Structure formats: C-alpha cells, structure tokens
Amino acid sequence: MQFYSTQDSKHKSDLKSAVLKGLAPGNGLYMPESIPTMDEAFWDKLAGMTVGEIGFETLKHFFCPDIPEVEFKQLTADAFNFPIPLVKVTDKISSLELFHGPTLAFKDVGARFLARVMASFTSKGEKPINVLVATSGDTGSAVANGFLGVDGVNVVVLYPKGLVSNVQEKQFTTLGQNITAVEVEGTFDDCQRLVKTAFMDEALCEEMILTSANSINLARFLPQMVYYFYAVAQMSKEEREKTVICVPSGNFGNLTAGLIGHQMGLPIKRFIAATNINDIVPQYMKTGKYKPAPSVATPANAMDVGDPSNFVRIQELFKHDWEAMRESLKTEVVTDEIIHKTIKDVYETTKYVLDPHGAVAYKALEKQLTGDEKGIFIATAHPAKFPDIVEAEIGREVEQPERLKAFLKGEKQVENISGQYEDFKKFLQSNAKFK
C-alpha cells in the first residue's frame, strides 16, 4: 500500500519510507491511500481470536507484503502479548483496560508494534535510526521500553520539566542503553515543536536518520485500532450495535485509529472524543474554526495538548466536511474539578479505581449515553501512575504492580536543554552515537 501526505495528496510514499521519515514533506502526516473493509469471514471468527490474531488480520492490509505475512504474523503476536480486558463498571458502562502492558499505559500497544516494525527495517552497516519522541506523560515510557535494547535504533525522549508525574518520569529516565531522556524548559507543545523542527531541518537529516515514535508516525497510531476490534470481540453481536466508545483525547491518535477501524466495519454506534480543559477540538466542533492555543496543565496531563497533531488525519477521514464530522463524532469537555469528583464518586459507588484520564472519558460517556445505549470508555493508564491525585480522592493507597515498583527504584539519567531549537540541534550533533 502507498501512503499519502495530508499536506499534498499527490505526494506518495511506500511503507518503509513513511515509517522511517515519520513526517511527510511540508510537515504533512502520512495516511493510507485506501481503507479496506473487513469481510464476513473475519466477523464470524472474531469472538475466538486473540489480540495478536486480530492485529494480523486488520493490519496486514497496511503492512504486507512490505513485511512478509509469515514474519508479520509473528510480529503481531509478539507485540500484542498482554491482556486487554473489558471490565464491567456499571450496568451501562464498561472499561477497556489498556494498562496491562510493560509500562501500564495504552501506548504500549503502538510502541511495541512500531519498535518491531522498525527493527524489521534495520540492516547491519547502515546508519543508526534515531527516534525522536515528545511526551506529555505515557508516550515516553511506552516508546522507551518498547525500543529498549533494539539494535540499530536510538531513542531520544523529550519531556517538559516538572510537567510529568514522578512515576511517568522514572519509566523513561532510568533505562540507559539506547534510551536518552531530555528534560526541556517549556511545555509539551515546545517539545513537540522541537521534534517537528528537527524533522524539517534538511541539513540535520543529511547528517543522521531521524524518525518519530509519536502518534504522528503511522506505524504508531494504526495498531491502536486493534483494541477496538478486540473490545467488540468480547461482546455479543446484539450489544455491539448499541455501543458508544468514549476516548480520552490529547493528540488524537487514539481516536483516529478507532475511526479508521470504524471505516473498516467496526460495528459500533458512535464515538465520543473526551478532552480536559484543553478544548481545541470541542471548540472547533462548535464553530468550525480550528484555533490552537497554549496547553494548560491539568490532572490528566497526557491530554494537555494545545494543538493536537492527529486532528488533521480525522479531518482527512471526513474529507474536511465539518457537518459530516459533527454528525458522526461527539465531544465533551471535563474540568479539573469534575475529574477529581469523578474519581471519588465512581470509587464510592462501584469500588472501581479510575486514573485522571479514565475519569475524563467515564464522565463524558456518562453524560452522553441515552436510551438503551451501552458505553465503553478507554482506560489508558493504571491509576498507580498517579498516586497523589487518585489516593487523595479514594482515601487509600493504590496498590503498585511489581513492574512499577522496579521502575521507581531506578536512578534518573537525564540531559537538560532550553526550549530553543538550536540548543536541541547542537545536542544531537554533538553526540556521536546518533550519526
């Protein structure tokens, strides 16, 4: 399959080039040239399939034969090797728990897949591949751990100083090996700007191979569709058509993958995009005018994005038809106060423990469900990653999984730079391992 640029549909790329470049020329994002529809045989056997098998059947249309099917089947089985349970919270609402992977966050799905795709593209004797990733929370840890120890690939994680939780920070600053953590004086948007600017710097890209592991990379966001298919696999056929899925949305890659799955035939009723007070997309849905703004810090920090990169992909899916988008996609904004209150109220009534991002999605879903609809919210991170927020609301300690305890014992290793691009460029150029 070919992939086109959102900036210029005439620009086409093969899979390997699109994955390794990350961004298309002119700051465009790559999109698949066509979106297939899954056949009846797939739906007939869906309920008995593993996550890896679903991954193979849905993603092979985009990644094969560039990656041979035999190799790709093993790749998906290896990448999607942890449970993704659908857990009932109330009679009408269930949680799709995506936090049972290595770093306890949904981004393990995309990061593990991307690492294995990139590894299939590396060859001995070539320049190393340098993955640049900006993170507002969980992306950095998922990508760092997904790529840890992969030969021929270096990872540089940029994160805003003081704006990620201690637990999140420990998960990507304590690894060493081929992982470099860079603390930036600024916000997530500044980190993302540094990454994008580096990709557009032709002189720098002549010196070294640079690519992205943020959801701007098509091999990071596309595999996220797999868990939507797996969610409906755990439901009866009658339930599926009444189901509304609510996605906590920051950079909007997660929702984009779900919407592509929907175009492939995912049999659900509709999606809701839930945001915190960084409400750029909800405002667009009201006015038709897209107005980026500086991001604002909230308890749901991984969603603190003032200019969500992937929203242009959603516009592409709807052919830039604002009315069609409004008809198919609903939005909801959840304030900081309501995030805290939702964590407390849901625990008191159900004993289910939400993290701040899950609380945003739960509340948005609860507000918008009507009639006989059933709801699924995407639980993107384990609540133990946000102990200060969660424990204050539920009145007890959140039990820490053993793999999280291991991260917390690690020693922080980090570089520090300003938010100026020239400082970041000098940092990359001065480090021989990136060349």
Catalytic residue IDs: 107
Name residues whose C-beta falls within 8 Å of residue 405's C-beta, 6 or more positions apart in sequence. none
Spatial distance between the Cα atoms of 361 and 353, rounded to a whole number of angstroms: 13
For residue 29, what is the enclosing H or E element?
Answer: strand 28-32
The amino acid occupying position 126 is E
DSSP secondary structure code for residue 85 in this structure: -
For residue 396, what is the enclosing H or E element?
Answer: none
How far, CA to CA in Å, does 138 sit from each of 29, 154, 284, 329? 22, 18, 26, 25
Task: Give all strands of the β-sheet with 153-160 in edge-to-edge order.
Answer: 209-212, 129-134, 153-160, 179-184, 415-417
The amino acid occupying position 221 is F
Q: Collapsing DSSP states into helix, strand and coil, what is residue 422?
A: helix
Spatial distance between the Cα atoms of 132 and 135, rounded to a whole number of angstroms: 10
Q: Collapsing DSSP states into helix, strand and coil, what is residue 254?
A: helix
Is the distance from CB of 175 to CB of 102 less than 8 angstroms? no
Q: For residue 143, which of 178, 112, 97, 99 has the smallest C-alpha distance? A: 112
Residue-by-residue DSSP string for 256-272: HHHHHHHHTT---SEEE
DSSP secondary structure code for residue 135 in this structure: -
Read off the tokens for 263: 């175009």
Name residues whose C-beta falls within 8 Å of residue 109's C-beta, 6 or more positions apart in sequence. 79, 80, 98, 101, 223, 224, 226, 227
Read off the tokens for 283: 């405002």
Read off the tokens for 262: 């929907």
Spatial distance between the Cα atoms of 21 and 217, rounded to a whole number of angstroms: 8
